[in-house]
Each structure stands twice: as C-alpha cells, then as structure tokens.
Chain A
Amino acid sequence: MSGIERVIQTIGETVVVGAQHGGGHLATVEPGPTWMALAPFLPLVGVVICLICALVPRLRTSKLPAWGTVASLAVAFGLILATWLSLDGRTLNVHAWEWINLSWGDGPGRALIANFAFHIDSLTVLWMLFVTGLGALIALYAVEYMEHDVGLGYCRFFAGFSLFVFSMSCLVMADNLLLMYLGWEGVGFCSYLLIGYFYKKPSAVAAAKKAFIVNRIGDLGLALGIMLIFVQFGTLEYGELFANERLLHYKDLALAGDFAQIPFNVQLIALLLMVGAFGKSAQFPLYVWLPDAMEGPTPVSALIHAATMVTAGVFLIARMFPIFLVSEHALPTVAWIGTITALLAATIGMAQFDIKRIMAYSTVSQLGYMFAGLGVLTSVGAAFHVFTHAFFKATLFLCCGAVMHGFAGQLDLRKVSGLRSQKGWMIVTLAMLIACLNLSGFPLTGGFFSKDMILAEAFVTPGFRVIGWILLLTAGLTAYYTFRVFFRVFVGPVDYEPGDEHHGEPGSFHPHPPGWAVNLVLAILGVGSLLVAGVYFVGGEHGWVGSMIHDSSAHYQADGTHAGTLFGQDPHTIMYYVSAAIGLAGIAIAWWLHYAGRTEAATCRADRLAFTGSRVARWARDKWYVDEFYDFLFRRPLWLLGQVFYFIDRWFVDGLVNVFGILPRLTGWAVRPSQSGLLHGYALGTIGGTAVLLLIVWLVT
C-alpha cells in the first residue's frame, strides 16, 4: 500500500495542470485548420435536405433525398482524403464550439470540459476514410435499392442514414470521451431508427428495440468508465489524458509487469469501457441484437451492422489502448471474449439458411477476431482486419441485398440457386466471389493477411496459444459457411422461387437483375476488396495500416516476449501456410457438401448425410437458445417484478396513504354516537366528565 501512496504522491507533484476553458493542450497536439471540422457536419446537410423534401410535397416524390445524401457524403469523403494527405503523422485538434463546460475551482480535476472539438490523428483518419467512403458508396447503392419507397419512407431512410454518418463521425473524431459517447449513443439511435424502418412489421420493431436496449446495457458500462476516467485523471480530453503523467507512469509499470502498484480503480476503467465495446460490437454475451438487426434494409445492414458501427467497440479499445494496457485483466478478457464470440457465432452461422443472417453471424464472428487481436496486443492486426472486413463484408451484404431485391425478398439459400448462369448477375457473382474469398482467408486476399496477423500474434503471445488454435479452427468454419452460401446461391443449377414480397402466381415470377447503381457500387467494392490486400505491402513493416496505427494512441510496441516462433519458424510465415490450408479445406468441404452433384436449390449432399437434420444442427440453427435463456433469466423476471411493483404501488403504498385518509373518518364514526342530540346523554356525559376530573384532581393532590 505504501507503494501506491508513494506513487500518488509523486504524481501529485508532477501532474500537468492543463484543464482550463478552451485550451491548455499539450504540445504534441497541434491546433488544426478549421475546414477539418467540416467533415463530420456535412452529413447533417443531407439530413436537412431530407427534412425539406419530407416537408415539401413536390420534392417528396423525387430522389433528391438520396442524391443529397450521396453528394454530402462524397464531399465529406473528399475532405477526409484531404485531411489524410495534409496530416503527415501529426495529431491535430479542431475546436467547433463549447458543449459541456463546468468548472469548480482551479487545478486538475476541477473542471469538466467536453466540447464539440475533434481529435484528428491517423487512427481517426483510418476510420473516417471507410466510414465516409463506404457511406457514400452504400448511399449510392441505396438510391436504387430503396426506390420502391420514394416518398416519406425514402426521406426517412436517407435522413437516418446521414444522421448515422454524422454520429459515427462524432464517435470517431471526438476529442473527448463525452462527445465520443454522443456519437456512440447517436449511432445506436440511428441503428434503432433504421432497423425499425419497416415499422409496420412487428419483428422489425422488436429488433430495433432490442438493439437499442442491449446497447444501452453496454453504454452504462461505458458511461461509468468515462466517469471513472474523469475521477482518476481529471480530464476527458484525449490529448490531456494520454499525456497525463500518472497514466504514463502506470503504463511504464504495466509494461514492466508490475500491476500490483497500479490502483484497482485505474485498472477497473478498462473493464468498464470493455462492457460498452462488447455491446456496440456485438460480443458475447451482448451479441444477440446484431442478428435480429437484419430486419433493417440491406444497405443499413451493410453500412451500420457490418462495416462501421459495429467496429466502434474496436475503435474504442484502440483509442483507449493506454488505458487498457494499464489494466492487468482487461486485454486478456477482451481476447477470450473475442475468441468465444468468434467460435460461437461461426457455429451458429454454419447452421442458418437465411443468407443475411449468416452474414450477420459472420460479422459477429469476425468482430470476435478483431477483439482477440486487440487482446493479444496487435492493435495493428485488429485495425487492419477492421479495414479489410469493412470492404468485403459490405460487399457481401450488398450482394445479398441484390439477391433479396431481385427475388422479391428471398433470402433462403435453399430457394435460390445458380445466379451465375442467369442474365445480368455477373457483376454480383464476381463481387460475391471476391468477398467470399476475402472472408474465408483465401491466400493473397486482404482478409487473409489481416486474419493471419491476428492468428500469428495469438500463437506467439505467451499464454494465448489456445486462443490461436480456436481462432484457427474458426477460420476453417468461416471458410465453410461462407462458401456454403456461394455454392448454394451463386453457382449450381438454375432454380429459384420468389420471396414474400412477390404477390401473384409463383410461375409468373421473373427475377430482376440489379440496375446500374447497384452494379457500379458492387464493381467498385469488389475491386476495392481485391486491392485492399495491397495496403499490406506499402508503407512500413506492418503495411499502411501499421503506419497509421503507429502515429496514434493505439500504438503498442511489442516487447521481446512476442517474438517467439511457431513450429520452429517465423510465426507470420508459417501462419500463411497453415491458415491458407485451413481456409482451402473449409472451401473444399463446402464444395463437396453443397455444390458437387447438386441438382436443385433445396437439397444437397449435406442433407443426404443428415448433417442438417441432426440435433446439434437444430440447436445451432436455434442459436443455442441464448435468446430464450436471456428471456427466461432477465426479461420475464423483470416484467414480473414490474407487475409486482405496480400491484404493491396500488394496494400497499397507496393503501397506506388511504388508511391515513380513512383515520379521520373512523374517528368521526367512533365518536358520532356521542352527538346524538339526546339531552340525557349529554347530561350523563357532563356528570361523568366532572367525576373523572374530580378524581384526577383528588389523585394529584
């Protein structure tokens, strides 16, 4: 204990006094040009355009909301590109306006400062590049995808879409934890709005609600973590926080392995923030909302529930890496939770028939990889996987969306087959193939390199080898379920039936292939997914992403213990071969079970081998009953408790009040007979009273 006290004392002498109204940043953070602060607000222009369109009947039937959104997002992307080019490894801060400023005296910890101000470093730019870039592309896709709903629905969709990009930009660009929290909850709300887009559908409304509430559980952890950071370090601003002498001191202690000297309350911060990250990034045990979120329109699933919002948890941990480093158990927990999630979601994904749900579980699983990556201290690997995943998972979703759109809402992989052989589906099939190869870690794709970085690191981190094996197994499962979709839906014999949105005779149905906007976006994303592997080879040891991470708070320089070998070889090199083999094996199994010898959409060899009918497969298809378990454990008891409380409120709490209300009446009722108006009664009373008084007087004297 004396050690801690000594530490605190030293820190008390060395803490940097910085927290003052509007300023006081440390030298490493430079003020940036004002135009950089425009990027997050540009999407709001889109919101305003949508609002105007919704209000003006003449504009309501136009596609202006969509094009307004696309344009504003494209300009925002341009601004981010310009920011990136002029950044040059610096950390900039741009102040927009004061938000929550409160002070109660002078000195550190005496002021709460959270402004609309932006912290721009390479980590910010990395995230913003794909948030705005993919945002613009997916908005373009949605121009065509949502055209059935031109009118109020169209306005609502694009308003939510733009608002989402605004919130996500705040989350990523914020210079303090509270503004980050604003973005954090803001994206949750936009997600709520867009999952519930088809608001007449009870399942969509329920899914939206579930997403918001489950996220709120995580948000409470995040909020408490933010409060604890403030109490411990007296600031919420990144610049000051990361330069905090006390934090730096703890970091030195942590890197030396001396966690005993770091106060428990400081170590707790990361564990609290982690809960928030688990909620937003759909990690076990809070992942249950993400698969249900597929009720939203597909562009939403692609942007929010695959590429950007769900990576917010990874961003949070990467941004707060110094805080996580000083916590002994936080990062190992992150690694294990990520691994468990990756495996669990992959097993569920293998058994689903709804292609969008398969992609949803795949997203959960891949997020698990990213968390595992963070947990084994390769923030570069995690960020790289976020980056590649954003491209190929968006592509996968958009391809699924094209199928859904073309086949009247059909998502069942048993009911659509052989798209490749049909007219007009070439680009979709090719884009899908590229994305599937990425996801299954096919050699030389982006997904291959990013996944390997995490796998190799897991194998060489002392104590995490088991995680490496589990993730390797999961990689095989991933390749299997990915190509299960591809072999069932995109190749094989031509066979299909329409989904629920087709009204009329099944025979009268003709699938309609995607139009130019969808094809264009898929082509761009397909090529992008192909090229994204290239960033591994440019700019420094760990590629471009590595150099971006290097200049940010997420940077972590591994010490000597991470330089181990695997099977006597360099881990990265050996992992190339091992994971490539595993991935190829998965693909091969999928080919054998779902493609080879298949003559119709509905059945394949897997069915003949009774894989799909087995009990285990059914359990996996029913998502291991986790939802039912939560319902039984939390929702129902709480609902019951509410009913009990309401009963108590009406009959006991209020009853007690009513008893007090009745007391006067009871008293009145008790003494009423005495006021009978009969003279002899009063006379008796008078005599009796006098007698009693006399008795008292006599007794007293």
Chain B
Amino acid sequence: MNVLVLMILLPLLAAAVVVYAPARRAKWVALTGTLAAGLACLLAFFAFDWADAATIQFQASRPWLPTLGLELSVGVDSVALLLIALTVLLGPICVLASFTGITGKVKTYYAWLLVLQAAMTGVFAARDLIVFYTCFEFTLVPMYVLIALYGSSNRAKAATKFFLFTFTGSVIALAGLIYVAWFNATLVGYDPALLHGTWTFDIATLERAAREMSASQQAWVLAALLAGFAVKVPLFPVHTWLPLAHTEAPTAGSVILAGVLLKLGTYGLYRFVLPFVPDAVVEYAWLIAGVSIVGILYAGLVCWVQTDIKKLIAYSSVAHLGFCVLGLVALNSAGLTGAVLYMLNHGLSTGALFLMVGMMYERYHTRSMDEVGGLASKMPIWSSFMLFFVLASVGLPGLNGFVSEFLCLLGAFQAGDWGGAVGGTGLFTLGPWYAAVAGLGMIIAAMYLLYMTGRIVFGEYREPAGHHEHDVLPTDLNWREIGLLLPLAALCLGLGVYPTPVLRALEPCVDQTIAIVTGAADSGVEIVRGGETEPRLVEGGRP
C-alpha cells in the first residue's frame, strides 16, 4: 500500500477504533494510531529519493468522478513530505499532551483529533485540486469540534468565528481554483459535447496551464487564492479569528492550529499561488510583502501589551508568519528556502510554546501574567524548557528560528535592484528596505517574548488566589511532559546547528519554483495558441 495513503488511513482507522473502544482506552488507542502514522512517515523518509526531491514521489491515484476528471491522487515532493512529517510528529505529542487535560467526552476528543491529523496529511499529500480542497476544508470540522466542546469559557463564539471566517475565505479560493481548472479545460479545446476527459484537477497539469493566463486573469486568480490562504496564514488584517481561536482552544488544538493549520495557508501560497500565477505574484509582491511587514510590526506591538499568555503567543504567530510570507514573495532561493523552513520551525517552536502554556494552565488554571509568575523558583524544568523555546522563537542563532528568519530577510534584501553587484537576484520584487523594516520585527520579538519571560519565568513567585496543587500532576513537569517536549527541543537545536540536510532537500523544489516564476521552466508541454480559434494544447510539442 502507498505509504501516503497509509499515513492518512492509519489515524482514520484509529479514530474508528476509538469510537468503539472503551473510553479509558481512548487515549492509548489514539497514541498507537499516531505512533503508527509516525512509523509510516519514518518509512517514507527512508524510501524517499532525496536526491530527486523536486519530483513528485509515492504517487498513487484512483478515479473518483471520471466525468469531471476527478481523481483521488496523492504524491509528495520534499516540501510536502517535510510538512507531513511535522504533522505526524505533532500527532502523538498532542495526544500525550491531552492525557490529563481532557477528562470528559474523551472518545469524541481523540476521534476528532485523529480525523484532523488524517485531513491535514491529506492536504499536503494531495495531487488533485479537489482532494486538496476537500481536505483543506475538512480540517475545519474537527477543529471546530475541538474548540467548541473542549475550549475555555468563550469557546462557542471562537469556534463559530474560526469556522465562518476561514470558510468564507476558502470558498473564494475555491472559486479561483475552479476558474483555473475551467481555464485549463477551455485551453484544451473545451467542447460541451465532449466533456469527458477534458476536465482535470490534476495539480501538475493545472500548474502548467495556469501560467498561460493573461495578466488580468492571473491577477484575479491571485486575489481569489489570497482571500483563502491569507485568512489561513493569517495575514494582517484578516487575522482576528486567530487570537480568539487560540485562546479558547484546548492545548492540543492550539498546538495543531499554530503548528500545522496555519501552514496550510503558507503551503497554499507556495504550492498554488506561486506556480499558478507567477506573473501576478511578481507584480503584486510588493503589496503582499507590505501587508506581511505591517503584520509583523503591528502584531508584534500588540503582543507586547497582552496579559494573556496564550493571546500573546497567538499574536506572535501573526508576526512570525509575516516573515514567512515575506520570504515567499522574495521569489529567490534564500527567501523561498527560508520560508519553507520557517513553516517547519514555527510549527516546532510555537507549537512547543503552546504546550508549555498548556502545562502551566493545567496547574494554575489561568493564562494571565498578572496572576501567575516567577515560576523559575517553583518549576525549574518547566522554566528551562520555556526559556529554550522562547529563544527558538526569538530567533537566537544556533536554534532553528534563526536560520529561517535570516534566510527570509536575506531573500527580501537580495530581491532588489542591485545593479552589478554579485549577490543580487534576477527578480526585483522587494529590496533592502523591506528587510530593514521587517528586521525591526526581530527587535520587537525580543521585546515581547522577553517581557513575557520576565513576568512568567522570572521575578518573585506569584500564584492565583486559591491555588492548590494539582491532584494528578506534580509541581514541576512529569516524565510524560518532559518526554513530549524533548523531541521538539532536540529538533529545534538540531535544525539550528545542522540544517544542512533540510536545506539540501529543499533546494531542488525551490529551484524549480524559481524557474517557474522567472519563466525559465521547461514545462514539457508546449502550449500553442491557435490563430483565431480556441487555444489548443498539444502534447509532444508538435501541432
């Protein structure tokens, strides 16, 4: 069986078992399911041909709705595989993190958590537009349930807002994607009588066809896709669902939200926006970058005045992903590599920060920095981990965040008109000013994260009124909690001092994307615009 299909089916199978197993076994079943998926992912890592990372591997497809050219098709390149690895890694961690936090309705909880993992894996593995979109939208349902049933006091509002907000955006994105498919269908010589076989939602095919769109068509498709993906990222000013959803979500929900769900937005930008409408991206890169930079500074300053730790970290995601999108639209090697790496790194470090806050919340039942603080004297292990992940998030060199942040900024910096200088790149989408202003975000990040650390970790010990020791959890972290943090910490350090394997793996994919954007790509299919009749697409290059 295809390893990708396996990675999608295993959690689903586990979800089914959870439903029928006794409630006290639910968490163990979920853990087994996620670990099995992890094993499959490990297998995929070994089987993947890293030397040929840009080629779609582990391809499998099965007809779904032949009349519309729909296929259940999967396949990954290194970017997708690494993001799947992030998803699969966070799976068991989220299950472990919920062991003591979730006490009621456990079966529903773990079942939806597993379904969510399957859906997210599906998003990254999809090679058919509709499969992608189905999974993309389907992630909303489990997340909605997780927030609405297991969240804090304001959960109903948060869940609804989260659902409606992102759903609205995605529907517009769907319109854009379908337009591309329709464009492709007409390009082949669309004939209502010969519907069969001319419609396709195969991503690779559409990628080649979409580039033939005129400038205005590209611009409209860009606008539509941005509407969906920018909400998900989220970019300023469509980010307001995020702080609410994050603060109300249970710990695992926040971890997945920050770790993977936000990456669906940036992945969408990388996978669809850049290759589908490259000319429009080049033209509007300044705008997207500008919005990202506004987000970096704006969200950073908003972070600084928060008292709710979860809200602070939620807003920090807006700021952080601004760097990621900035790198994406720099459209050069450093920027793109940095952006993809940023997706992974942000998932690790911010996911870990939410875990840390969750562990604190379980003990003190508050997220307010006014009520709790100075935990270094009470919880040294927790504090050490907290400081570590804060530093990863701040972008301290030697930890993972730095590599991606620096590359994103360097990418933006390089993407200016440097005349004869050797280090410039071909496209002049951005320039040094973008990097300089975005770089202010590095200072602001230090301000708000150290402000938080100063209050929560350091200072005189403070606890909320009426606080009493948890009856299950010890004062400091237990082995389960340490165990689930250690892999994240190891990866943060590992990717900080030796990111080379990942950089190597991303290089071919990034090169390919850049070739597409700069128009140097050899599409393999020659598209001939036939005289006055409909444009025709001819396989093999000869009409």
Residues of A with Cβ closer than 8 Å to B?
A: 5, 8-9, 11-12, 15, 97-104, 107-109, 112, 116, 152, 178, 181-182, 184-186, 189, 192, 196, 199-200, 202, 205-206, 208-209, 212-213, 216-217, 219-220, 223-224, 227-228, 230-234, 265, 638-639, 641-643, 645-646, 649, 653-654, 656-657, 661
Contact = CB atoms under 8 A, between A and B. Distances in A.
B459 A231 contact: no
A243 B339 CA distance: 32
A8 B419 contact: yes
A152 B380 contact: yes
Contacts of A639: 304-305
Contact of B460 (A108, A186, A200, A661): A200
Contacts, number: 174
A642 B302 contact: yes
Contacts of B459: 199-200, 202, 205
B332 A104 contact: yes
Contacts of B457: 199
B503 A109 contact: no
B443 A101 contact: no
B439 A12 contact: no
A97 B497 CA distance: 9
Interface stretch (B26-34, B67-75, B87-95, B421-429): B421-429
Given A213-B443, A231-B423, A639-B305, 8 more contacts: A108-B422, A200-B458, A220-B443, A223-B442, A224-B413, A224-B432, A641-B301, A653-B239
B535 interface: no
B435 A227 contact: yes
Contacts of B420: 5, 8-9, 11-12
A516 to B, nearest CB: 32
B376 interface: yes
B389 to A, nearest CB: 14
B113 interface: no
A414 B514 CA distance: 68
21 contacts: A97-B500, A98-B500, A101-B503, A104-B332, A104-B510, A109-B423, A178-B406, A182-B398, A185-B402, A186-B398, A192-B450, A205-B454, A206-B454, A209-B451, A212-B450, A223-B442, A231-B421, A642-B303, A642-B304, A645-B298, A646-B305
Contacts of A228: 413, 432
B483 interface: no
A200 B420 CA distance: 55
A223 B436 CA distance: 9
A99 B400 CA distance: 11
Contacts of A213: 443, 446-447, 450
Contact of A224 (B337, B424, B436): B436
Contacts of B334: 102, 112
B164 interface: yes
B290 interface: no
* Among A104, A196, A233: residue with most chain B CB under 10 A: A104
Interface string B353-364: 000000000000
Contacts of B238: 657
Given A265-B421, A649-B240, A223 B406 contact: yes
A199 B376 contact: yes
A231 B439 contact: no
Given A112-B334, A220-B439, A649-B302, A199 B458 contact: yes
A224 B409 CA distance: 9
Contact of A116 (B301, B409, B450, B497): B497
Contact of A103 (B414, B418, B461, B507): B507
A224 B442 CA distance: 12
Contacts of B440: 220
A153 to B, nearest CB: 10
A464 to B, nearest CB: 31
B220 interface: no
A15 B406 CA distance: 26
B374 interface: yes
Contact of A100 (B306, B403, B414, B439): B403
A112 B380 CA distance: 39
Interface residues of B, number: 70
A216 B451 CA distance: 14
A232 B422 contact: yes
Interface in B445-477: 446-447, 450-451, 454, 457-461
B458 A196 contact: yes
A377 to B, nearest CB: 27
Interface string B298-333: 100111111000000000000000000000000011
Nearest to B300: A642
* Among A11, A227, A661: residue with most chain B CB under 10 A: A227
Given A8-B419, A104-B332, A653-B240, A220 B305 contact: no
Nearest to B337: A102
A108 B302 CA distance: 42
A193 to B, nearest CB: 8
Contacts of A199: 374, 376-377, 457-459
Contacts of A643: 305
B498 A102 contact: no
Contacts of A181: 397
Given A186-B397, A186-B398, A638-B301, A653 B333 contact: no
Given A104-B332, A216-B446, A234 B422 contact: yes
Contacts of B422: 15, 107-109, 231-234
A341 to B, nearest CB: 22
Contacts of B500: 97-101
A152 B410 CA distance: 40
A233 B423 contact: yes
Contacts of B407: 100, 102, 112
B396 A642 contact: no
B424 A109 contact: yes
Contacts of B119: none
Interface in B484-499: 497-499
A98 B402 CA distance: 16
B333 A186 contact: no
B439 A224 contact: yes
A219 B402 CA distance: 13
A387 to B, nearest CB: 27
A312 to B, nearest CB: 14
B477 to A, nearest CB: 13
B511 interface: yes
B424 A231 contact: yes
Given A205-B459, A220-B439, A230 B332 contact: no
Nearest to B243: A649
A318 to B, nearest CB: 21
Contacts of A8: 419-420
A-B pairs with lowest CB-CB distance, top 5: A109-B422, A231-B423, A104-B333, A234-B422, A182-B397
Contacts of A224: 413, 432, 435-436, 439
Given A102-B333, A645-B302, A646-B302, A97 B240 contact: no
Given A112-B334, A216-B443, A223-B406, A99 B450 contact: no
Contacts of B447: 213
Contacts of B499: 99-100
B202 to A, nearest CB: 28
Contacts of B418: 231, 265
A107 B460 CA distance: 57
A538 B99 CA distance: 70
Interface string B361-390: 000000000000010110010000000000
Contacts of A116: 497
B396 A205 contact: no
B284 interface: no
Given A209-B451, A232-B423, A638-B301, A200 B396 contact: no
B310 to A, nearest CB: 15
A86 B503 CA distance: 37
B423 A645 contact: no
Nearest to B461: A200
A230 B423 contact: yes
